[in-house]
Structure 1
Amino acid sequence: MSTTTPAAPATEAQRIAQVLVAPGERPKRSGPVSASLTYGWRALLKIKHIPEQLFDVTIFPIMMTVMMTYVFGGSIGAAVSGTEAGGDAVGAYVQWLIPGVFAQTLVMITMYTGLTLNRDISKGVFDRFRSLPTWRPAQLVGALLGDQVRYMIAGVIILVVGFVMGFRPEGGLNGVLAAFLLLLVFSFCLSWVWTTVALLMRTEQAAMGVSMFIMMPLTFVSNIFAPTETMPGPVRAFAEVNPVSTVVAAIRELMNGVYDPASLLMVLIYCAVLVVIFGPVSMVIYNRKS
């Protein structure tokens, strides 16, 4: 006479395994767009839980705009407008400065994308991401897309402060929106530079140092604060080929209602070059990083 031994109760791990391998249609694998948007949403949730990250996009733009206008506006504004130093020169300088500071603020904020990425990598978060069956670049693209919200917040703050200080773009709302869109595209492409730096550096402090070493000439040796015609020869030569100068010139034209295809095309060429060079380099380093 045979006896049957009662089966042992299934453990929690066995029950989960039975559900995971149950017959039926498997869920579809996420595509590049959905995966990138998911990681972008993660970047926004980090801002929600750590609102201090918005300090650089709120206080810094206001402080930079006010200081540059009322400290240097009288002297630089006189050179820009050809008037005597004083209230009229400051008013003229506001019209010149706001598009430049608008671009400078967003360009400088892109640097923090790489710093945040370096911090996540050092904590091992991206080691888990790379093990997931998703489109591999989505983890980097999503982080850059999430930061677009930070760029928009900073841009709106700069424009509001500028309007309060007397900035009146001749291009109207359409010109401002076109300039905003162009700058967001350039900021996204420039972020790939800081992504590469973040992946190359071992610590966040090292990434910050290298990023500032690159960022300072890009923003200050440009036409943001003064015309390139007033600069000495070598400095002027660098400022005129500086991609930030090209972007600022295009933004000033758009806000003044001038739509120059040559200027817009040059900005888009710079954007394409940045993505074509630093996008693949970032992915190679990311895939090989242990």
Structure 2
Amino acid sequence: MLARVDRRLAASFAAIAIVATACAIGPKWLTPEPRPAPSPAQCQFRHGFAEVYGAIPDIVGDCVEDESDSPSGTDTQQRTTNGLLVWRRADGLVAFTDGSRTWVRAPDGGVYRRRNDERFTWEAVSQTEPPLRIVTPSEPVPTAVPTSERSGARPTPEPGSRRVTPEEIATSLATSGIAITGVTVLTADTDPTRMLGRAGSYVAKVVWRDVRAPDAEAAIELFPNLATLYARREQLEDVGRSAPAIAQHLFSSPSRLALVRVPRTLSSDQARAYEAWLARL
């Protein structure tokens, strides 16, 4: 009889000990762990958004959320670190805006840039929008290696791509077969614009003269990233539109992070020799 009582008392004490331990540990032991909230790193670009991101990754930036319906319910949108991606039901086009400029993926597959108060001829225009300037795109912006679908990771460099040095550029120009003279590698002290090496500007520059247009200087500028390259090209395009007399032929190489500027007095065929040289660089 005493043995049975002892066993019952031992069981009671064990139960009390378990409850006491649970109370000491707290509700975390008694209740399941809450699921962590999704982090921005888990978001992805898909379909048309992935294609635009793959073309201009440094402009779009990384995703901060997955795509969702717009507040109006008519479009699909996705916020990024640099702006907003939108798929528009009205014309089926995907666009990215940073608030003042818009990059639109055209029916031909190219990505074209315009101001927000403009529309391309192939874009739908809402009747509720204020009067807009209808423009015809000149050429697509330089793009990175295209991809079909990617997450928030940056694109891998194009196979064989690498940074070129100003000295390599000077040597390549001298043996290009183009009629040039006075090839010079500039430094921060010799750059007349004092832009070399400044934040948001080019990091190297080589200048020369084309003997067929000796009154104007030609140049190639190297940039730290695609965003800076695109911004510089846009700046020069704006200058050319506002002052056609000093407009230049512009050629970009995303893989080399380079921008070539040659005088507009050269014919298109003459200028394209520099485009071909840049592609071989």
TM range (shorter): under 0.3
Larger Rg: 2
Could you state the TM-score of these two structures normalised by the residue count of structure 2? 0.26
- Relative to its length, the structure with more helix (as a share) is 1
Could you state the TM-score of these two structures normalised by the residue count of structure 1? 0.25
Q: Which has the higher contact order (CA 8 A, sep 6+)?
A: 1
- Relative to its length, the structure with more strand (as a share) is 2
